[in-house]
Structure 1
Protein backbone atom coordinates (compact mmCIF):
# COMPACT_ATOMS: atom_id res chain seq x y z
CA UNK A 1 0.00 0.00 0.00
CA UNK A 2 2.93 2.34 -0.57
CA UNK A 3 1.77 5.93 -1.27
CA UNK A 4 -1.77 5.12 -0.09
CA UNK A 5 -3.55 7.59 2.20
CA UNK A 6 -5.88 6.76 5.09
CA UNK A 7 -8.07 8.97 7.27
CA UNK A 8 -8.57 7.60 10.78
CA UNK A 9 -11.07 9.31 13.06
CA UNK A 10 -10.98 8.86 16.81
CA UNK A 11 -7.24 8.51 16.35
CA UNK A 12 -6.13 9.92 19.69
CA UNK A 13 -6.77 6.76 21.74
CA UNK A 14 -7.99 3.19 21.85
CA UNK A 15 -8.92 1.45 18.61
CA UNK A 16 -8.32 4.58 16.52
CA UNK A 17 -4.78 5.00 17.83
CA UNK A 18 -3.95 1.32 17.28
CA UNK A 19 -5.44 1.41 13.78
CA UNK A 20 -3.40 4.46 12.77
CA UNK A 21 -0.20 2.71 13.86
CA UNK A 22 -1.26 -0.52 12.14
CA UNK A 23 -1.86 1.28 8.85
CA UNK A 24 1.44 3.12 9.18
CA UNK A 25 3.20 -0.25 9.16
CA UNK A 26 1.51 -0.90 5.80
CA UNK A 27 3.08 2.30 4.43
CA UNK A 28 -0.07 4.41 4.53
CA UNK A 29 0.20 8.12 5.05
CA UNK A 30 -2.26 8.69 7.87
CA UNK A 31 -4.50 11.65 8.64
CA UNK A 32 -5.27 11.59 12.36
CA UNK A 33 -8.58 13.21 13.32
CA UNK A 34 -9.65 13.56 16.96
CA UNK A 35 -10.63 16.16 19.54
CA UNK A 36 -7.66 15.79 21.89
CA UNK A 37 -4.74 17.77 20.42
CA UNK A 38 -2.25 16.72 23.11
CA UNK A 39 -3.01 13.02 22.68
CA UNK A 40 -2.70 13.39 18.91
CA UNK A 41 0.89 14.55 19.35
CA UNK A 42 1.79 11.25 21.00
CA UNK A 43 0.00 9.25 18.31
CA UNK A 44 1.73 11.28 15.62
CA UNK A 45 5.12 10.30 17.06
CA UNK A 46 4.10 6.63 17.15
CA UNK A 47 2.92 6.74 13.53
CA UNK A 48 6.19 8.36 12.45
CA UNK A 49 8.12 5.67 14.31
CA UNK A 50 6.11 3.04 12.44
CA UNK A 51 7.33 4.56 9.19
CA UNK A 52 4.49 6.72 7.90
CA UNK A 53 3.79 10.39 7.37
CA UNK A 54 0.98 11.69 9.62
CA UNK A 55 -1.15 14.82 9.65
CA UNK A 56 -2.82 15.55 13.00
CA UNK A 57 -6.17 17.35 12.90
CA UNK A 58 -7.59 18.34 16.28
CA UNK A 59 -11.29 18.93 15.64
CA UNK A 60 -14.76 17.81 16.64
CA UNK A 61 -16.50 15.74 13.98
CA UNK A 62 -19.88 16.59 15.46
CA UNK A 63 -19.37 20.07 14.00
CA UNK A 64 -20.85 20.47 10.54
CA UNK A 65 -17.71 21.98 8.95
CA UNK A 66 -15.31 19.31 10.29
CA UNK A 67 -15.75 16.94 7.34
CA UNK A 68 -14.78 19.67 4.89
CA UNK A 69 -11.65 20.49 6.90
CA UNK A 70 -10.54 16.85 7.10
CA UNK A 71 -11.05 16.05 3.42
CA UNK A 72 -9.74 19.30 1.98
CA UNK A 73 -6.62 19.13 4.18
CA UNK A 74 -6.00 15.53 3.12
CA UNK A 75 -6.37 16.28 -0.58
CA UNK A 76 -4.25 19.43 -0.42
CA UNK A 77 -1.41 17.52 1.23
CA UNK A 78 -1.61 14.09 -0.44
CA UNK A 79 -3.94 14.46 -3.43
CA UNK A 80 -5.85 11.27 -2.76
CA UNK A 81 -7.81 9.20 -0.22
CA UNK A 82 -7.60 5.42 -0.27
CA UNK A 83 -9.21 4.47 3.03
CA UNK A 84 -11.57 6.10 5.49
CA UNK A 85 -11.94 4.52 8.92
CA UNK A 86 -14.85 6.01 10.86
CA UNK A 87 -13.88 5.08 14.41
CA UNK A 88 -14.69 8.26 16.37
CA UNK A 89 -17.69 8.42 18.63
CA UNK A 90 -18.21 7.89 22.34
CA UNK A 91 -21.93 7.52 23.04
CA UNK A 92 -22.90 8.10 26.71
CA UNK A 93 -23.63 4.96 28.71
CA UNK A 94 -26.61 6.30 30.60
CA UNK A 95 -29.83 4.51 31.50
CA UNK A 96 -32.64 4.89 28.97
CA UNK A 97 -34.92 6.49 31.55
CA UNK A 98 -32.31 8.97 32.78
CA UNK A 99 -30.77 10.18 29.54
CA UNK A 100 -31.63 13.68 28.37
CA UNK A 101 -32.38 14.63 24.78
CA UNK A 102 -29.11 16.60 24.68
CA UNK A 103 -27.07 13.53 25.72
CA UNK A 104 -28.90 11.35 23.19
CA UNK A 105 -28.34 13.76 20.33
CA UNK A 106 -24.69 14.39 21.25
CA UNK A 107 -23.80 10.73 20.77
CA UNK A 108 -25.72 10.50 17.51
CA UNK A 109 -24.22 13.73 16.17
CA UNK A 110 -20.62 12.60 16.62
CA UNK A 111 -20.67 8.90 15.82
CA UNK A 112 -23.48 8.68 13.27
CA UNK A 113 -23.79 12.07 11.60
CA UNK A 114 -20.08 12.90 11.83
CA UNK A 115 -19.25 9.66 10.00
CA UNK A 116 -22.05 10.21 7.49
CA UNK A 117 -20.89 13.74 6.60
CA UNK A 118 -17.24 12.70 6.35
CA UNK A 119 -17.98 9.73 4.10
CA UNK A 120 -20.12 11.82 1.76
CA UNK A 121 -17.45 14.52 1.54
CA UNK A 122 -14.71 11.95 0.85
CA UNK A 123 -16.79 9.93 -1.63
CA UNK A 124 -15.52 11.49 -4.86
CA UNK A 125 -11.88 11.00 -3.84
CA UNK A 126 -12.59 7.41 -2.79
CA UNK A 127 -14.32 6.85 -6.13
CA UNK A 128 -11.18 7.95 -7.95
CA UNK A 129 -8.94 5.66 -5.90
CA UNK A 130 -11.41 2.74 -5.75
CA UNK A 131 -10.93 3.01 -2.02
CA UNK A 132 -12.40 1.55 1.14
CA UNK A 133 -14.60 2.75 3.99
CA UNK A 134 -15.12 1.05 7.36
CA UNK A 135 -17.68 2.12 9.95
CA UNK A 136 -17.38 1.23 13.65
CA UNK A 137 -20.53 -0.25 15.16
CA UNK A 138 -20.61 -2.33 18.35
CA UNK A 139 -22.08 -5.44 19.95
CA UNK A 140 -24.64 -3.43 21.98
CA UNK A 141 -26.58 -3.05 18.72
CA UNK A 142 -27.16 -6.82 18.69
CA UNK A 143 -28.16 -7.14 22.36
CA UNK A 144 -29.69 -3.85 23.54
CA UNK A 145 -30.04 -3.15 27.26
CA UNK A 146 -31.64 -0.15 29.03
CA UNK A 147 -28.28 1.08 30.33
CA UNK A 148 -26.85 1.08 26.81
CA UNK A 149 -29.90 2.18 24.81
CA UNK A 150 -28.24 5.15 23.10
CA UNK A 151 -25.14 3.08 22.35
CA UNK A 152 -27.26 0.29 20.87
CA UNK A 153 -29.45 2.63 18.80
CA UNK A 154 -26.49 4.55 17.42
CA UNK A 155 -24.55 1.42 16.56
CA UNK A 156 -27.56 -0.17 14.86
CA UNK A 157 -27.95 2.99 12.78
CA UNK A 158 -24.24 2.86 11.90
CA UNK A 159 -24.61 -0.70 10.60
CA UNK A 160 -27.61 0.31 8.48
CA UNK A 161 -25.82 3.40 7.19
CA UNK A 162 -22.83 1.30 6.14
CA UNK A 163 -25.14 -1.02 4.20
CA UNK A 164 -26.64 1.95 2.36
CA UNK A 165 -23.22 3.33 1.43
CA UNK A 166 -22.11 -0.16 0.35
CA UNK A 167 -25.00 -0.38 -2.12
CA UNK A 168 -23.87 2.86 -3.76
CA UNK A 169 -20.27 1.72 -3.49
CA UNK A 170 -20.94 -1.28 -5.72
CA UNK A 171 -21.79 1.14 -8.52
CA UNK A 172 -18.93 3.53 -7.76
CA UNK A 173 -16.17 1.01 -7.06
CA UNK A 174 -15.88 1.79 -3.35
CA UNK A 175 -15.69 -0.97 -0.77
CA UNK A 176 -17.81 -0.27 2.35
CA UNK A 177 -18.08 -2.47 5.45
CA UNK A 178 -18.72 -2.18 9.15
CA UNK A 179 -17.16 -3.87 12.15
CA UNK A 180 -18.96 -4.91 15.33
CA UNK A 181 -16.44 -5.18 18.16
CA UNK A 182 -17.36 -6.48 21.58
CA UNK A 183 -15.86 -5.53 24.92
CA UNK A 184 -12.48 -3.94 24.18
CA UNK A 185 -10.30 -2.67 27.02
CA UNK A 186 -9.69 0.89 25.95
CA UNK A 187 -8.81 3.79 28.18
CA UNK A 188 -12.42 4.99 27.97
CA UNK A 189 -13.75 1.64 29.18
CA UNK A 190 -11.27 1.57 32.04
CA UNK A 191 -12.33 5.08 33.08
CA UNK A 192 -15.96 3.97 33.03
CA UNK A 193 -15.17 0.99 35.27
CA UNK A 194 -13.26 3.23 37.70
CA UNK A 195 -16.47 5.20 38.24
CA UNK A 196 -18.82 2.21 38.06
CA UNK A 197 -16.99 -0.08 40.51
CA UNK A 198 -17.34 2.01 43.71
CA UNK A 199 -21.04 2.55 43.04
CA UNK A 200 -21.43 -1.23 43.03
CA UNK A 201 -19.26 -1.87 46.10
CA UNK A 202 -16.38 -3.51 44.31
CA UNK A 203 -12.82 -2.74 43.28
CA UNK A 204 -11.88 -1.85 39.73
CA UNK A 205 -10.11 -5.20 39.43
CA UNK A 206 -13.30 -6.99 40.46
CA UNK A 207 -15.31 -4.94 37.98
CA UNK A 208 -12.89 -5.77 35.17
CA UNK A 209 -13.22 -9.45 35.97
CA UNK A 210 -17.00 -9.38 36.35
CA UNK A 211 -18.03 -8.41 32.84
CA UNK A 212 -16.18 -11.15 30.91
CA UNK A 213 -17.64 -13.71 33.30
CA UNK A 214 -21.18 -12.39 32.88
CA UNK A 215 -20.78 -12.11 29.08
CA UNK A 216 -19.45 -15.64 28.82
CA UNK A 217 -16.13 -14.61 27.27
CA UNK A 218 -12.61 -15.40 28.43
CA UNK A 219 -11.29 -11.82 28.48
CA UNK A 220 -11.60 -8.33 27.12
CA UNK A 221 -10.36 -7.69 23.60
CA UNK A 222 -7.41 -5.41 22.96
CA UNK A 223 -7.42 -2.40 20.61
CA UNK A 224 -4.55 -3.91 18.63
CA UNK A 225 -6.65 -6.96 17.81
CA UNK A 226 -9.42 -4.84 16.31
CA UNK A 227 -6.80 -2.81 14.44
CA UNK A 228 -5.45 -5.96 12.80
CA UNK A 229 -8.92 -6.77 11.47
CA UNK A 230 -9.38 -3.22 10.22
CA UNK A 231 -6.00 -3.34 8.49
CA UNK A 232 -7.07 -6.47 6.65
CA UNK A 233 -10.47 -5.01 5.70
CA UNK A 234 -8.90 -2.09 3.79
CA UNK A 235 -6.15 -4.20 2.25
CA UNK A 236 -6.11 -5.58 -1.32
CA UNK A 237 -6.70 -9.06 0.12
CA UNK A 238 -10.22 -8.07 1.23
CA UNK A 239 -11.35 -6.16 -1.85
CA UNK A 240 -14.26 -8.51 -2.64
CA UNK A 241 -15.67 -7.96 0.84
CA UNK A 242 -18.31 -5.23 0.74
CA UNK A 243 -21.63 -4.67 2.49
CA UNK A 244 -20.43 -6.92 5.31
CA UNK A 245 -20.80 -6.42 9.05
CA UNK A 246 -17.95 -8.27 10.72
CA UNK A 247 -18.31 -9.23 14.38
CA UNK A 248 -15.21 -9.60 16.59
CA UNK A 249 -16.32 -9.99 20.19
CA UNK A 250 -14.74 -13.07 21.74
CA UNK A 251 -18.07 -14.92 21.48
CA UNK A 252 -20.06 -12.32 23.45
CA UNK A 253 -23.08 -12.38 21.12
CA UNK A 254 -24.47 -15.90 21.28
CA UNK A 255 -27.06 -15.65 18.50
CA UNK A 256 -26.43 -16.84 14.97
Structure 2
Protein backbone atom coordinates (compact mmCIF):
# COMPACT_ATOMS: atom_id res chain seq x y z
CA UNK A 1 0.00 0.00 0.00
CA UNK A 2 2.95 2.32 0.51
CA UNK A 3 3.18 3.32 -3.16
CA UNK A 4 -0.40 4.57 -3.29
CA UNK A 5 -1.17 8.24 -3.95
CA UNK A 6 -4.12 10.16 -2.48
CA UNK A 7 -5.50 13.63 -3.13
CA UNK A 8 -6.97 15.24 0.01
CA UNK A 9 -8.85 18.52 -0.32
CA UNK A 10 -9.43 20.92 2.54
CA UNK A 11 -6.09 19.70 3.87
CA UNK A 12 -5.02 22.91 5.57
CA UNK A 13 -7.09 22.51 8.74
CA UNK A 14 -9.63 20.49 10.69
CA UNK A 15 -10.77 17.13 9.36
CA UNK A 16 -8.83 17.58 6.12
CA UNK A 17 -5.56 18.13 7.92
CA UNK A 18 -6.15 15.23 10.32
CA UNK A 19 -7.08 12.93 7.43
CA UNK A 20 -3.97 13.82 5.45
CA UNK A 21 -1.72 13.14 8.42
CA UNK A 22 -3.47 9.83 9.15
CA UNK A 23 -3.28 8.68 5.52
CA UNK A 24 0.46 9.37 5.51
CA UNK A 25 0.76 6.04 7.35
CA UNK A 26 -0.85 4.16 4.46
CA UNK A 27 0.04 6.14 1.33
CA UNK A 28 3.40 6.94 -0.19
CA UNK A 29 2.34 10.36 -1.44
CA UNK A 30 -0.30 12.88 -0.42
CA UNK A 31 -1.47 15.72 -2.65
CA UNK A 32 -2.70 18.40 -0.26
CA UNK A 33 -5.20 20.86 -1.69
CA UNK A 34 -6.52 24.02 -0.02
CA UNK A 35 -6.86 27.73 -0.53
CA UNK A 36 -4.69 28.62 2.48
CA UNK A 37 -1.15 27.96 1.27
CA UNK A 38 0.51 28.99 4.54
CA UNK A 39 -1.47 26.49 6.60
CA UNK A 40 -1.02 23.92 3.84
CA UNK A 41 2.75 24.04 4.31
CA UNK A 42 2.26 23.16 7.98
CA UNK A 43 0.21 20.12 6.96
CA UNK A 44 2.89 19.17 4.44
CA UNK A 45 5.52 19.15 7.18
CA UNK A 46 3.35 16.92 9.36
CA UNK A 47 2.72 14.54 6.46
CA UNK A 48 6.43 14.36 5.73
CA UNK A 49 7.15 13.62 9.38
CA UNK A 50 4.56 10.82 9.28
CA UNK A 51 6.41 9.15 6.41
CA UNK A 52 4.72 10.21 3.16
CA UNK A 53 5.83 12.61 0.44
CA UNK A 54 3.59 15.68 0.32
CA UNK A 55 2.68 17.81 -2.68
CA UNK A 56 0.95 20.96 -1.39
CA UNK A 57 -1.20 22.67 -4.00
CA UNK A 58 -2.82 26.01 -3.32
CA UNK A 59 -6.03 25.84 -5.34
CA UNK A 60 -9.59 27.13 -5.22
CA UNK A 61 -11.74 24.25 -6.43
CA UNK A 62 -14.69 26.58 -6.91
CA UNK A 63 -12.91 27.57 -10.12
CA UNK A 64 -13.77 24.97 -12.79
CA UNK A 65 -10.25 24.70 -14.19
CA UNK A 66 -8.72 23.98 -10.77
CA UNK A 67 -9.83 20.34 -10.64
CA UNK A 68 -8.12 19.38 -13.89
CA UNK A 69 -5.01 21.31 -12.91
CA UNK A 70 -4.90 19.42 -9.61
CA UNK A 71 -5.15 16.06 -11.37
CA UNK A 72 -2.56 17.07 -13.98
CA UNK A 73 -0.06 18.15 -11.32
CA UNK A 74 -0.68 14.98 -9.33
CA UNK A 75 0.05 12.77 -12.36
CA UNK A 76 3.08 14.84 -13.32
CA UNK A 77 4.54 14.37 -9.84
CA UNK A 78 3.48 10.83 -8.92
CA UNK A 79 2.18 9.20 -12.12
CA UNK A 80 -0.93 7.70 -10.53
CA UNK A 81 -3.98 8.40 -8.34
CA UNK A 82 -5.33 5.80 -5.92
CA UNK A 83 -7.74 7.88 -3.84
CA UNK A 84 -9.54 11.19 -3.94
CA UNK A 85 -10.80 12.38 -0.55
CA UNK A 86 -13.04 15.42 -0.92
CA UNK A 87 -13.26 17.32 2.37
CA UNK A 88 -13.10 20.99 1.31
CA UNK A 89 -16.21 23.07 1.54
CA UNK A 90 -17.63 25.50 4.09
CA UNK A 91 -21.33 26.25 3.70
CA UNK A 92 -22.72 29.28 5.59
CA UNK A 93 -25.06 28.55 8.49
CA UNK A 94 -27.81 31.04 7.69
CA UNK A 95 -31.58 30.67 7.92
CA UNK A 96 -33.14 29.54 4.65
CA UNK A 97 -35.24 32.72 4.47
CA UNK A 98 -32.21 34.98 4.79
CA UNK A 99 -29.76 33.42 2.32
CA UNK A 100 -29.09 35.26 -0.91
CA UNK A 101 -28.75 33.58 -4.30
CA UNK A 102 -25.02 34.28 -4.18
CA UNK A 103 -24.69 32.50 -0.81
CA UNK A 104 -26.62 29.49 -2.09
CA UNK A 105 -24.46 29.33 -5.21
CA UNK A 106 -21.24 29.63 -3.21
CA UNK A 107 -22.37 26.87 -0.88
CA UNK A 108 -22.67 24.47 -3.81
CA UNK A 109 -19.63 25.73 -5.73
CA UNK A 110 -16.87 24.11 -3.68
CA UNK A 111 -18.34 21.32 -1.60
CA UNK A 112 -20.49 19.82 -4.37
CA UNK A 113 -19.29 21.00 -7.77
CA UNK A 114 -15.59 21.21 -6.90
CA UNK A 115 -15.68 17.67 -5.53
CA UNK A 116 -17.64 16.41 -8.53
CA UNK A 117 -15.19 17.89 -11.03
CA UNK A 118 -12.20 16.48 -9.16
CA UNK A 119 -13.69 12.99 -9.18
CA UNK A 120 -14.52 13.25 -12.88
CA UNK A 121 -11.04 14.37 -13.89
CA UNK A 122 -9.37 11.73 -11.71
CA UNK A 123 -11.69 8.93 -12.83
CA UNK A 124 -9.56 7.42 -15.61
CA UNK A 125 -6.57 7.23 -13.28
CA UNK A 126 -8.75 5.73 -10.55
CA UNK A 127 -9.97 3.07 -12.98
CA UNK A 128 -6.36 2.07 -13.70
CA UNK A 129 -5.49 1.81 -10.02
CA UNK A 130 -8.88 0.42 -8.93
CA UNK A 131 -8.94 3.35 -6.57
CA UNK A 132 -11.41 5.05 -4.28
CA UNK A 133 -13.35 8.29 -3.87
CA UNK A 134 -14.78 9.68 -0.65
CA UNK A 135 -17.20 12.60 -0.68
CA UNK A 136 -17.53 14.31 2.70
CA UNK A 137 -21.07 15.38 3.48
CA UNK A 138 -22.46 15.89 7.00
CA UNK A 139 -25.19 14.48 9.20
CA UNK A 140 -27.43 17.46 8.38
CA UNK A 141 -28.03 15.65 5.07
CA UNK A 142 -30.37 13.37 7.02
CA UNK A 143 -31.89 15.99 9.32
CA UNK A 144 -31.90 19.48 7.73
CA UNK A 145 -32.94 22.43 9.91
CA UNK A 146 -33.89 25.99 9.02
CA UNK A 147 -30.65 27.53 10.25
CA UNK A 148 -28.69 24.90 8.36
CA UNK A 149 -30.81 25.11 5.22
CA UNK A 150 -27.99 25.36 2.71
CA UNK A 151 -25.77 23.03 4.73
CA UNK A 152 -28.37 20.28 4.76
CA UNK A 153 -29.30 20.80 1.12
CA UNK A 154 -25.71 20.63 -0.11
CA UNK A 155 -24.94 17.66 2.12
CA UNK A 156 -27.99 15.75 0.89
CA UNK A 157 -26.97 16.46 -2.70
CA UNK A 158 -23.49 15.11 -1.99
CA UNK A 159 -24.90 11.84 -0.62
CA UNK A 160 -27.08 11.41 -3.71
CA UNK A 161 -24.19 12.27 -6.02
CA UNK A 162 -21.93 9.77 -4.25
CA UNK A 163 -24.53 7.05 -4.81
CA UNK A 164 -24.54 7.81 -8.53
CA UNK A 165 -20.73 7.77 -8.72
CA UNK A 166 -20.70 4.52 -6.73
CA UNK A 167 -23.08 2.88 -9.20
CA UNK A 168 -20.77 3.86 -12.07
CA UNK A 169 -17.80 2.76 -10.00
CA UNK A 170 -19.10 -0.80 -9.74
CA UNK A 171 -18.67 -1.17 -13.49
CA UNK A 172 -15.35 0.69 -13.57
CA UNK A 173 -13.73 -0.84 -10.48
CA UNK A 174 -13.73 2.40 -8.45
CA UNK A 175 -14.96 2.37 -4.85
CA UNK A 176 -17.09 5.39 -3.89
CA UNK A 177 -18.65 6.31 -0.54
CA UNK A 178 -19.72 9.36 1.42
CA UNK A 179 -18.86 10.22 5.03
CA UNK A 180 -21.26 12.24 7.18
CA UNK A 181 -19.57 13.77 10.26
CA UNK A 182 -21.54 15.28 13.11
CA UNK A 183 -20.36 17.97 15.57
CA UNK A 184 -16.57 17.89 15.28
CA UNK A 185 -14.51 20.41 17.24
CA UNK A 186 -12.70 22.38 14.57
CA UNK A 187 -11.94 26.09 14.24
CA UNK A 188 -15.15 26.44 12.25
CA UNK A 189 -17.15 24.80 15.05
CA UNK A 190 -15.56 27.06 17.66
CA UNK A 191 -16.40 30.14 15.57
CA UNK A 192 -20.00 28.95 15.40
CA UNK A 193 -20.09 28.45 19.18
CA UNK A 194 -18.73 31.97 19.71
CA UNK A 195 -21.93 33.23 18.04
CA UNK A 196 -24.18 30.60 19.61
CA UNK A 197 -23.14 31.36 23.21
CA UNK A 198 -24.25 35.01 23.56
CA UNK A 199 -27.41 34.31 21.55
CA UNK A 200 -28.38 31.79 24.24
CA UNK A 201 -27.23 33.81 27.25
CA UNK A 202 -24.09 31.80 27.94
CA UNK A 203 -20.38 32.31 28.01
CA UNK A 204 -18.35 30.46 25.42
CA UNK A 205 -17.07 28.05 28.06
CA UNK A 206 -20.61 27.29 29.24
CA UNK A 207 -21.81 26.75 25.69
CA UNK A 208 -18.94 24.41 24.87
CA UNK A 209 -19.68 22.41 28.02
CA UNK A 210 -23.46 22.23 27.59
CA UNK A 211 -23.86 21.88 23.82
CA UNK A 212 -23.07 18.12 23.58
CA UNK A 213 -25.78 17.26 26.11
CA UNK A 214 -28.24 19.56 24.36
CA UNK A 215 -27.88 17.68 21.09
CA UNK A 216 -27.76 14.29 22.81
CA UNK A 217 -24.13 13.27 22.49
CA UNK A 218 -21.46 12.52 25.10
CA UNK A 219 -18.75 14.71 23.57
CA UNK A 220 -17.69 16.59 20.48
CA UNK A 221 -15.96 14.57 17.82
CA UNK A 222 -12.29 15.11 17.09
CA UNK A 223 -10.94 15.53 13.54
CA UNK A 224 -8.91 12.39 14.21
CA UNK A 225 -12.12 10.39 14.75
CA UNK A 226 -13.22 11.12 11.20
CA UNK A 227 -9.70 10.60 9.87
CA UNK A 228 -9.67 7.05 11.23
CA UNK A 229 -12.97 6.32 9.49
CA UNK A 230 -11.55 7.67 6.22
CA UNK A 231 -8.49 5.46 6.62
CA UNK A 232 -10.62 2.37 7.21
CA UNK A 233 -12.77 2.99 4.14
CA UNK A 234 -9.62 3.35 2.01
CA UNK A 235 -7.99 0.24 3.48
CA UNK A 236 -8.34 -3.29 2.04
CA UNK A 237 -10.61 -4.13 4.99
CA UNK A 238 -13.09 -1.45 3.88
CA UNK A 239 -13.08 -2.28 0.18
CA UNK A 240 -16.50 -3.97 0.08
CA UNK A 241 -18.06 -0.79 1.42
CA UNK A 242 -19.54 0.75 -1.73
CA UNK A 243 -22.19 3.46 -2.06
CA UNK A 244 -22.51 3.80 1.71
CA UNK A 245 -23.36 7.01 3.55
CA UNK A 246 -21.29 6.59 6.69
CA UNK A 247 -22.57 8.75 9.53
CA UNK A 248 -20.19 9.36 12.44
CA UNK A 249 -21.80 11.83 14.83
CA UNK A 250 -21.76 10.42 18.36
CA UNK A 251 -25.44 9.50 18.02
CA UNK A 252 -26.74 13.02 17.34
CA UNK A 253 -29.15 11.86 14.62
CA UNK A 254 -31.59 9.51 16.32
CA UNK A 255 -33.62 8.47 13.28
CA UNK A 256 -33.24 5.12 11.54
Query: Does TM, normalized by the shorter one, top 0.5?
Result: yes
Counterpart CA distance in 2 for 1:139 and 1:238 is 21
1:105 aligns with 2:105: yes
Counterpart CA distance in 2 for 1:78 and 1:49 is 19
Count of residue pairs brought into register by the alignment: 256
For the aligned residue pairs, the C-alpha RMSD in angstroms reads 0.9
Counterpart CA distance in 2 for 1:114 and 1:236 is 27
Matched position secondary structure for 2:24: helix
- CA shift for structure 1 position 142: 1.0
Deviations 1:70-113 (A, max 9, x none): 10000000000000001000000011111111011101011000
Match of 1:24 in 2: 24
- CA shift for structure 1 position 209: 2.3
Matched position secondary structure for 2:63: coil
Task: Give matches, 1:21-170, under 5 Å.
Answer: 21-170=21-170
Counterpart CA distance in 1 for 2:249 and 2:28 is 27
- CA shift for structure 1 position 116: 0.5
Counterpart CA distance in 1 for 2:237 and 2:110 is 31
Counterpart CA distance in 2 for 1:70 and 1:58 is 9
Match of 2:240 in 1: 240
- CA shift for structure 1 position 238: 1.1
- CA shift for structure 1 position 188: 1.0
- CA shift for structure 1 position 195: 2.9
Matched position secondary structure for 2:117: helix
Match of 2:12 in 1: 12
Matched position secondary structure for 1:25: coil
Matched position secondary structure for 1:155: helix
Match of 2:190 in 1: 190
Q: Which runs of 5+ in 1 are unaligned?
A: none
Question: Structure 1 stretch 193-202 or stretch 26-35: which is displaced more?
Answer: 193-202
